[in-house]
Structure 1
Amino acid sequence: MLYTVGEISKLLGIPSSTLRYYDKEGLLPFVERSSGGIRMFQEKDFEWLKIIECMKKTGMPIKDIKNYIELTLQGDDTIPERLALFQKQRRQLQIQLESLQQAMEVLDYKCWYYETAQKAGTVEALKNISISDIPEKYHAVRNRLSNIPQIPNESDAE
């Protein structure tokens, strides 16, 4: 079965303008066109589009996605390059996940903090709270928030 840009857009929840942009950037060399120049997607194109969307969600630049597609079209000789591309993106995504996890921990701590303040009727009740009065799962976050990092000496950088 063939699908138009509008139909694919609805099926995958991707704006039509995004699909047109992908085509303009060379990400859709596999998409056929009708005699009138209309993009006609096939069911086999769904996986390509889902992979492109996944790569975009990971923050992979368009140029790298295009490179991946070009490598794929070149055949099995490019498997090592494709693997390296995904491994690199995986490492970058892992760093992002760790950063987001730390942000989530701070948000969890602050939710606990304000829930506790709300019960007490004031944040003043928490101004001088000791670490032992904070739930253990928030100790590391509290320490990260309250410790001032040291500025490295210029001699340390050399």
Structure 2
Amino acid sequence: MTIAEVSKKYDISQDTLRYYERIGLIPVVNRTANGNRDYTEESCKWIELAKCMRSAGVPIEALIEYCALTQQGDSTIKARKELLLEERRKLSEKMEDMQQTLDRLNYKIGRYEKAEVTGILSWE
């Protein structure tokens, strides 16, 4: 796939794709004879992973480290697992914080809905 096709498929700018490759967030992409990037199914899997993890807030540095470890082979399996476990722990904490915020917002909205009916909004 060309960079334009991948950009469209994953809704990621071509500049972002080049940046991800340059910083090691995705492995180096093969090139055609005329020097254009030629994304394979393997390349696309890395892009999907990067997009998913970035949307969840996983830091670029952690993903770069994961990519580098993966390229080093099976001797890094334990290190990769540890990295993913740590990122999962952080994500779980964020989700708990977000749930608390959502609960608070729902509480406040409920109070305003009640106030709209009764005309009374007491101090929280």
TM-score of the pair, normalised by structure 2? 0.90
Q: Distance in 2 between matches of 1:100 and 1:16?
A: 32
Unaligned runs of 5+ in 1: 129-145, 147-158
Q: Which has the higher contact order (CA 8 A, sep 6+)?
A: 2
Corresponding residue for 2:36?
Answer: 38
What is the number of equivalent residue pairs in this alignment? 124
Flag as ranges the 4+ runs of structure 1 deviating above 6 A.
none
Which amino acid is 1:127 matched to? S
Corresponding residue for 1:18?
Answer: 16
1:30 to partner: Cα distance: 4.1
* CA RMSD, 1 decimal: 1.6
Corresponding residue for 2:102?
Answer: 104
Q: What fraction of aligned residue pairs are identical, expressed as a percent?
A: 39
The structure 2 residue matched to 1:120, chosen from 103, 118, 121, is 118
Q: Distance in 2 between matches of 1:93 and 1:44?
A: 26
- Alignment partner of 1:56 is 2:54: yes
TM-score of the pair, normalised by structure 1? 0.72
Q: Is the 8 A contact 1:32 1:39 kept in 2?
A: yes
Instruction: Please identify the structure whose Cα radius of gyration is greater.
Output: 1
Unaligned runs of 5+ in 2: none
Q: Is the 8 A contact 2:2 2:39 kept in 1?
A: yes
Q: Is the 8 A contact 1:58 1:89 kept in 2?
A: no
Corresponding residue for 1:65?
Answer: 63
Cα deviation code 1:86-110 (max 9, x no counterpart): 0000000001000000000011111
Q: Distance in 1 between matches of 2:82 and 2:4?
A: 34
Q: Distance in 1 between matches of 2:19 and 2:57?
A: 17
